Each structure stands twice: as C-alpha cells, then as structure tokens.
A and B are shown apart, each in its own frame.
Chain A
Amino acid sequence: MGATALRNGPSPVPAPIDSIVEVRGISKTYGNVEALRGIDLDFPRGKLTSLLGPSGCGKTTLLKIIAGLIRADGGTVAINGKRVSAPGPERAFVFQDFALMPWATVTRNVAFGLELRGTNKAEREEIARRYIAEVGLAGFEDKYPHELSGGMRQRVGLARALSVDADVLLLDEPFSAVDEQNRRKFQEDLIRLRTNQNKTFIFVTHSIEEAVYISDRIVLLSPRPGRVSQIIEPEIDRSGDPERIHRDRHYLDTVDEIWQGLKQYVE
C-alpha cells in the first residue's frame, strides 16, 4: 500500500535517509506470548514517527526497548550509529501516566533529569523555567502536580523531556490520560514544538486520527506477534493553521486508508 506518498503528488524521497535510530531484528517474548518478532526500522532524524497499532501489537514494548527500559530477547538498537542497551542522555521519555514526583514542585519535576546529571541548582532551575514557559505553564512553577489538571501534568512531563536536551523524544501514548479538549490543544502544540525544536520524536498511539494529524511517518504494527505491516508517510502541509489539517483531504484519505488496513485486526 505505501502508495499514499505517490498518490499525493511528487514526493521527495531522498535515497539515503539520515536515520538517528536504527532498530534491527528486535524480538521479545513474554512467557509464551510473542510480543515482537524481527522488527527492522529506521527513524529519520528530525522527523516525528508514530508507532500505530491495535492494543497488543507491542508498540509500547518496542518504544521501551528503544528507551533501554526493557531488554530485547534478540536484535539491536543503535542511536547515532552507536549500539545501546540501557537508557542514555540522548533519549528522553514521556510517560502515559505522566510519572511526576507528587512531592516535588513543577520546577523540580522539570529539572529532575538535570538534577540526576549533577547540573547545579541555579542553572537547572533556569533551564526548567525556560521549558515550563515553552510548554505554556509559566506561572505554575511552584505548584505541585496534584494542583494541575491532567493536560497540564503531561505538559510538565514534556517539559522534563525537553529540558535534558536529548536528540530523541520517546512519547508513550502521552495524551491517552488527557481529556479530549486538552488533547486537541496538546496535539497542536506538539506540531508547533516540533518545528521549533530540532528533535526526533517517536510517538506511540492507538489513535489513527492522532497519528495522521501529527506524524511525518506512521509505522503500522500488526498484533500477535508484533511486526511491521506497513509504513505510511502522510503528505500533509502542517505549516498553516493546525485547525485546518482536520479538514485536509489528504488527512481524511490517509485516516480512512489506515482504518481499512487495520480493520482486519479488530474483533
């Protein structure tokens, strides 16, 4: 199917892709459930790639293997050409349930990655303040997580990931615990953020609309065992008003096309 790119006019597909993350032959089995089998993937630098698939396709497992949080049974992950098997400073993770420290203020939560690296207090709080403002939370620096809404908590999680200045941001269904209105706003912000920050995003989601809306590249995974079934590059112009994308014809076509492909896995 990968024809989406072709159908939408002349797409510039550069011959050698500059990929920042290379996944080779990754497999993972839990007990007697085969979660992932022989995953080969390249994640192009500076792009937002979504891992999309029905629940049980191992997308979160794959993301956590890339993060170094889960050990794969076989295969390798390389970042910038270097093999990795543990977490490292070139990757930052955004958690589905935010994973904020409830006993710490927004500033300390955002600065936590830098705190662990031994950055001195004044400097890391300065950096934290900058990213708190960047995600739109200026004025909430001294609040505690329970004083914030779900959407705001996830902004803290995002600011924390940005503040460590990693090349790759790994986001595990970051908006699934956020209410619908906030999710929309958040997705728009993420598109904006992606243009400002020169970073690579790997984004796990089970929402087709969300994946098409924000991604440069969508990797479709099929379930049991998780395998790459398709890679789609939606050709959507995101330079204008993000609101407009929802009415873009390519957007609607791509959503429909992916749905047709995924239908078979839904009972």
Chain B
Amino acid sequence: MTLFGYRVPMMASLLVWCVVWEVVGRLDLVFLLPPFSDVLVAAVSLVQTPSWQSATVTTLRAFAMGMALSIVIGVPLGILMGRVKIADDLLGMWVNIFSSAPLSAIVPVLMILFGFGEKTIVAAVFLFAIWIIVLDTRAGVRHISPSLIEMARSYGASRPALYTKIILWAALPEILAGIRLGLIRGVKGVVIGQLLVAIVGYGALFETFSRNFRMAEFWALTIILFAFALLIAELIERAEAKVEYYAGARQ
C-alpha cells in the first residue's frame, strides 16, 4: 500500500481500523462496541484469570487432539484415494460432500453421540479439518510423476519404501497446504463445538460474557482467538515455504 507516495506497511491499515474502532466506541453509539482501549485492558486482565487459563488449556488440548487425529487419518486416507481407484470411487463422493457441507449442523448430533464434553469438541475439530486434508493429499499423490514411481520400482523399492521414500515426499507440498487449510477449519470446529456445548473452555467463557453483556471481555476473547488462528496459519506457511523450493521445480 502506498499513501501520498510513501510506502505504508500492511499492519498500518490495521492501526487505522483500531483508531476507527476506538472513535466509534468513544461515541457510545452502540453499547455492543466498547472502545478498543477498553478491550485491550480487558484482554490483559482476562489472560490473568484462572478461568481463561484453564479454558485455554482445555481448548488447545481439544484442538490439538482433533487436528492430530485428522492428520493421522486424513493423510493416509488421501494417499489411499490417490493410489487406489476403488477407494477413490467409494470415498470420493463422500469426502467432497463433507468438505463443502455446512458441518455446524452436524455438531448437535455429535453432542448426542459423544456427550457434553471434550470428546464432542475433539470430534468437531476432526470433522471440520479432515476433509480438506484428504482432498489435498489425494491431489498431491495424483500429481506425482509416473516416472518417479517407475524409478523407485526399477531400483527395487519395496512397497513400504515406495510410500515412505517417494510418495509421501513427492506429495508433501500439497499435504502441507491441506494441513494449513485444515488447521484454519479446525479453529472453526473448536469454536463452534464449544459454543454449542457451551459448558467447556472458550464456549463457556463466550456464553458467560455475552449473557452478562461483558462486551469488552467478549471482544478480547474474540481477538485472542483470531490471533491464534492467524498465528498457526502463519507457522504452517513458513514450513510450506521451506518445501516450496522443490514444489516449483517438480517435473
């Protein structure tokens, strides 16, 4: 972005919006929107409360477990679909449906299946994240040059070696892209899951804050969540950049 001939860093636009928020908040137009400075103050005191800390631990744990599950199951499933036509025919339709379906509607069903607890949240994260991981992994495996696989075979690769030394690596750029998108969807999953279950982690906090009109804390929590989602997306993007050097060079 350039302004009057000066280069302005991207973060500057964020600052402008913060000022707008502050001004609108000070004008006291909408009680839902306290001044930005109040939100910051609330954020600082919020992170010191034991309830926020334990909610964060619960949320992170559910998120990590759900993501781990969706990666551990999603990547092999995607590889299977990329390699075996029957598996692709059988599962392809369902994976596509689930990856574009409004999954929030299914979370109440999860609640019936897994109860009002952490299991439901883990299942929600899994359900949100896995499909894009499967689809991207499959696409990555499909893209592998057939001669690379012939090469491995002609030099005597066993089946496990073919998968661990060639296929996994050749599809890695797409797999990482899938995981990055999966993480972002997983954040959605954890928030929606907790909001619906409403007695666990951030869901409970959101519920308390909005019911008691504690808007400053409500927004503080929202900002913390956004920041978290952006942070992990950024981290994965760093990892992707590292494998990019060969993604672009593939034949």
Give the interface of A toward B (CB within 8 A): 64, 67-69, 87-89, 91-93, 95-99, 101-103, 112-113, 115-117, 144-146, 160, 164
Chain B window 229-251, contacts with chain A (Cβ cutoff 8 Å), 1 for yes, 0 for no: 00000000000000101101111
- Across-interface contacts of A93 in B (CB, < 8 A): 150-151, 154-155
Q: Is the CB of B154 within 8 A of A102?
A: no
Interface of B toward A, CB cutoff 8 Å: 145, 147-148, 150-158, 161, 165-166, 169-170, 172, 243, 245-246, 248-251
Main secondary structure of the interface of B (DSSP, over half): helix
Contact present for A92 and B157 (CB under 8 Å): no
Complex: how many Å from CA A164 to CA B156?
11
| Given A102-B250, A146-B246, A97:B153 Cβ within 8 A | no
Partner pick for B154 among A92, A96, A144, A145, CB 8 A cutoff: A92
CB distance from B18 to the nearest CB of A (A): 42
Q: Which residues of B contact A102 (CB under 8 A)?
A: 246, 249-251
Q: Which of A91, A92, A97, A116 contacts B152 (CB 8 A)?
A: A116
Contact A68 to B154, CB < 8 A, known contacts A95-B147, A101-B148, A103-B169 = yes
In the docked arrangement, what's the CA distance between A103 and B140, Å? 15
The contact sample of 5 A-B pairs, CB cut-off 8 A, is: A87-B156, A97-B251, A99-B148, A103-B169, A144-B246
Task: Give the nearest-CB partner of A67 in chain B.
Answer: B154
Q: Is B155 touching A97 in the complex (CB atoms < 8 A)?
A: no
Give min CB distance, B8 to chain A, whole Å. Answer: 36
Contact assessment for A89 and B156 in the assembled complex, using a CB-CB cutoff below 8 Å: yes
Chain B residues near A146 (CB-CB < 8 A)? 245-246, 248-249
Residues of B within 8 A of A164 (CB): 155
Q: Which residues of A contact B152 (CB under 8 A)?
A: 116
Most buried by B among A91, A102, A112: A102
Determine the distance from Cα of A32 to Cα of B103 in the docked complex, in whole angstroms. 47
Q: Is the CB of B243 within 8 A of A99?
A: no
Cβ of A99 and Cβ of B249 under 8 Å apart? no
Give 20 A-B pairs besides A69-B150, A144-B245 with Cβ atoms closer than 8 angstroms. A67-B154, A87-B153, A87-B154, A87-B156, A91-B154, A92-B155, A93-B150, A95-B151, A101-B148, A102-B246, A103-B169, A103-B246, A116-B155, A116-B161, A144-B249, A145-B249, A146-B245, A146-B246, A160-B155, A164-B155
Contact partners of B154 in chain A: CB under 8 A = 67-69, 87, 91-93
Going nearest first, the 3 A-B pairs with the smallest beta carbon separation are: A146-B249, A102-B246, A99-B151
Question: What residues of A have a CB within 8 angstroms of the CB of B165 in the complex?
Answer: 115-116
Tell me, rounded to whole Å, the shortest Cβ–Cβ distance linking A62 to chain B.
Answer: 15
> For residue B158, which residues in chain A have a CB less than 8 angstroms away from its CB?
116
Q: Are A113 and B155 in contact (CB under 8 A)?
A: yes
**Min distance, Cβ B203 to any Cβ of chain A, angstroms:** 42
Closest CB-CB distance, A256 to chain B, in whole Å? Answer: 34
A contact residues around B157 at 8 Å (CB): 116
Choice from B145, B169, B245, B246 contacting A99 with Cβ under 8 Å: B145
B172 proximity list for chain A (CB < 8 A)? 103
- Could you say which residues of chain B place their CB within 8 Å of the CB of A69? 150, 153-154
Report which residue of A69, A99, A113 has the largest number of chain B beta carbons within 10 angstroms of its beta carbon. Answer: A99
